[in-house]
Amino acid sequence: MPVVYIADQGSHLCKRGDRLYVYRGTQLLRWFHTKDIIQLILVGNIGLTSQVVTYLLKYRIDTVFLSYYGKFKGRLVGEFGKNVLLRVNQFQYLSDLENRTLLANLIIRGKIANSLFHLAKRKKRNKEESITVAYIKNKALLAQLNSQIYPKDILLGYEGIAAKNYFAAFPALIANNDFPFSGRNKRPPKDEVNAMLSLSYTFLMNQVMCSAYICGLDPYYGALHDLDYGRQSLVLDVMEEFRPLIDNMVISLINRKEIRLEHFLYNTLPNDEDPEEENSVLPVSLTKDGMKIIITAFSKLINSKFPLQDLPGEWSMKDIITLQIRKLAAHFENKKEYLPFLWM
């Protein structure tokens, strides 16, 4: 149980010995051992006693606070990684435009290659023309990107085209008529599919962020995403390669009817949530049971194993994310060229 999610609204955590207990009022909801936990995700209105906070900081258990609809609020951060020379190398490498451009190209190639693999998996049993068209267009686009290193503005233009092609095929990938999809939207998401994608991407972001902290890289300085106050650019960079796996997870939940319309709320928030003023009413959000379905599916995904092109055997997705961060660290130190994760 390396990652624990708590989404019981209005509950609070207490500590006794090496266990954490989740209470709502005087009712005990559940408890768990803390010795094997590396990350704690608190979704919505969850309280912590000062004893719990002290314990989490002392044992460097990465603790993340999300709003109920998936917006990142913050995290408990103890002592940062001590390898300051690694971060110096990171900043020196990324201060060079040519280096940033190379790395951004590698990341986008990996993202598009993985979205192609997703489409290829789906079109084996789904003969809708839009899926084949998106696959052919993006395969040609990837071949063009592989032919040379493009300046960032041109690269982002190609990425936008690839994303447009990919999401144009999304309605055909969804075999459940209860879940129409008319395009990607967010902040806040306006339909059920986008609500699931946004929440799942947030879970992915926190998994990547945890690995970045563990490995000692600065999560705010990346190559593809522009620097901006509060933007975790490096984390967003690494996420790109894994987004198609999240898409596949969400579509599978819908097509297998594991998640249904009864698992959503409309123009409201769950009871006991502490809403931000500008988001006190949301177009769509997940019920408690819907949240559990997404959490369970994401936990299963990050523990699923995949082969790697450059290492023997199969590795869990959470380990692969850490490996990708370590590859970036080696790349920044000029020890090894960065290879994006390729879904196989």
* Inside any domain, residue 59: yes
> Residue 210 contacts by C-beta under 8 Å, 6 or more apart in sequence?
38, 39, 62, 64
Predicted confidence pLDDT, tens digits, the chain (344 residues): 477 888 888 888 998 888 888 998 888 988 888 777 778 888 888 889 888 888 888 887 888 888 776 677 888 876 666 788 999 999 999 999 999 999 999 999 999 999 999 999 998 888 889 999 999 999 999 999 999 999 999 999 999 999 999 999 999 999 999 999 888 887 778 889 999 999 899 899 988 988 898 888 999 999 999 888 888 999 999 999 999 999 999 999 999 999 999 998 887 665 544 544 344 556 888 888 898 899 899 989 999 999 998 888 899 999 999 999 999 999 998 878 899 999 98
Q: Which of 108, 194, 106 is nearest to 157 (CA)?
A: 108
**Is the same domain home to 53 and 105?**
no
Confidence (pLDDT) at 247: 97
> Which domain range does residue 7 map to?
3-66
**Is the same domain home to 169 and 271?**
yes
Confidence (pLDDT) at 61: 83
Confidence (pLDDT) at 277: 39
**Is the same domain home to 41 and 177?**
no
* Inside any domain, residue 150: yes
**Is the same domain home to 50 and 153?**
no
Q: Are 197 and 259 in contact, with CB atoms under 8 Å apart?
A: no
> Is the peptide bond preceding residue 188 cis, with omega within 30 degrees of 0?
yes
Confidence (pLDDT) at 95: 95
| Predicted TM-score (pTM) of this structure | 0.86
Q: Is the Cα torsion angle 214, 344, 173, 145 positive or negative in sign?
A: positive
Longest dimension (CA), the chain: 63
Number of domains in the chain: 2
The rounded distance, in Å, linking the Cα atoms of 287 and 297 is 15
Helix (H) or strand (E) holding 52: helix 50-58
